[in-house]
Amino acid sequence: MKLPKGGDSWPDRAFRWLIAQSDNPWVRYLVAPGVLAAPPWIVNQLLDSSPVSKWLRSEFPDLAGLLQRYDVLFYLAAGAYSALLIAFAKAIAKRVESRSLDLAGVLTLEAAIDNVVGCKLERFEKHANGGAKITRDNVFATITQPSLQIAEITRGVAEYFNACRPAKKRQHLIRVLLAEIQNGKISEFVVSFPKDEPVRLTRAELNRSNSAIMTAVRSRRIVVIDSIEKELRKGRNACYVPGGNTDDATGSIICYPVMGAARLPVFVISIHCEEDRYFSRSKADLYAHVLSRFALRLNLEYNLLQLKERLHGTA
């Protein structure tokens, strides 16, 4: 699976370039050891009596004098330099890696999607093995259950995001809401998870133009609010509508529009975590990539639902 490469700021691009260079054998076996060894070697040369030392002393007399005066400190600094450089390289690698899914993340996503397909397979198998009376006329209406499948996909989103959350932070579940969009407004709350924690805001409240869902509908792009508390401090410019419950005024949220035909949003997936800054705007590309896997399937089922409604009246 191809993963997004994270942010596009110049440090990110520079770090990715540096990481890519580390795969080059010339850089790995020649340039990197040279960069690591150069300062200790220079310090050593300046302090002994070799010809190189004499040349360095004549070319850089001030530096040589300083080195002789604080020789122990410079030896220590030369040693620490290597350790600091390696730590810096590791930090760069971590920064670049943290913007993409690791192997476990990709496999968790695969398992979540497999679960959704598994539900459909169970149903198909049941009918294929003669569990219900199937005729040429009713086969489509019988085996397809797009409304149910849309709920399963949304549950897949909820299970996936909760599965990816570090164990120590799993006190409260990440909540997921799927809202149906018609004519640029929320027409229905399709389903939300967990089911024992109902949506705290009304449709009318979430249909306000400054809600995160409506911002995603208008912009047709993913909206990530790192800190709801900080967002609300913006006052009128805040892209968030708080509910009466104080829990709604904290945490972080993602709103992802699912685009249908004519590039218009048909759903918005809203994902709320009660932990402040759990979601990060800098990882928006990654969230969008993960959610696009689910959105593709939601869109397919939505088309199936419309087809079924056209043919049979109800889904």
> Of 6, 45, 64, 145, which lies in the binding site for other proteins, with binding defined by CB under 8 A?
145
Instruction: Please state, in angstroms and as integers, the Cα–Cα distance from residue 80 to each residue in 35, 36, 84, 274, following that order.
Output: 13, 11, 6, 41
Task: Please report, as a single letter, which amino acid is at residue 269.
Answer: I
Query: Among residues 270, 235, 231, which one has the least CA distance to residue 253?
Result: 270
Residue in 10, 49, 69, 103 binding other proteins, rule: CB under 8 A:
103
Least Å distance between CB 150 and other proteins? 6
Give least dist CB 151 to other proteins, A: 4
* One of 36, 47, 119, 199 touching other proteins (CB under 8 A): 119
> Closer CB to other proteins, residue 36 or residue 143?
143
Closer of 85 and 143 to other proteins (Cβ)? 143
180 is a contact residue toward other proteins (CB under 8 A): yes
Q: Is 100 in the site for other proteins (CB under 8 A)?
A: no
Nearer to other proteins by C-beta: 71 or 125? 125
> Does 122 interact with other proteins (rule: CB under 8 A)?
yes
* Smallest separation, CB 35 to other proteins (Å): 27
Q: How far is the CB of 180 from other proteins (least distance, A)?
A: 7
Residue 150 touches other proteins, criterion: CB under 8 A: yes
Q: Is 132 in the site for other proteins (CB under 8 A)?
A: no
Which residue in 174, 156, 172, 145 sits closest to 254, CA to CA? 174
104 lies in the binding site for other proteins (CB under 8 A): yes
List binders of other proteins among 160-179 (CB under 8 A): 160, 162-163, 165, 173
Q: Determine, following the binding rule CB under 8 A, whether residue 271 of this chain makes contact with other proteins.
A: no
Looking at 50, 110, 247, 261, which residue binds other proteins (CB under 8 A)? 110
Q: Which is nearer to other proteins, 32 or 117 (CB)?
A: 117
The amino acid occupying position 236 is R
Choose, by CB under 8 A, the member of 7, 74, 108, 253 that binds other proteins: 108
The mark string for 190-219 relative to other proteins (x by CB under 8 A, - otherwise) is: xx-xxxxx----------------------
- Write out the DSSP string of the chain: --------SHHHHHHHHHHHHTTSHHIIIIIHHHHHHHHHHHHHHHHS-SHHHHHHHHH-HHHHHHHHHTHHHHHHHHHHHHHHHHHHHHHHHHHHHTTS--HHHHHHHHHHHHHHHHHHHHHHHHHHTTSS---TTTHHHHH--HHHHHHHHHHHHHHHHHHTS-GGG-SSPPEEEEEEEETTEEEEEEEEESTTS--SS-HHHHTSTTSHHHHHHHHTS-EEES-HHHHHTTGGG-S----SSGGGGSSEEEEEEEE-GGG-EEEEEEEEESSTTSS-GGGHHHHHHHHHHHHHHHHHHHHHHHHHHHHHS--
Say if residues 240 and 225 touch (Cβ distance below 8 Å): yes
Q: How far is the CB of 158 from other proteins (least distance, A)?
A: 6
Residues contributing to the site for other proteins (CB under 8 A): 103-105, 107-108, 110-112, 115, 118-119, 121-123, 145, 147-148, 150-152, 154-155, 158-160, 162-163, 165, 173, 180, 188, 190-191, 193-197, 305, 309, 314-315
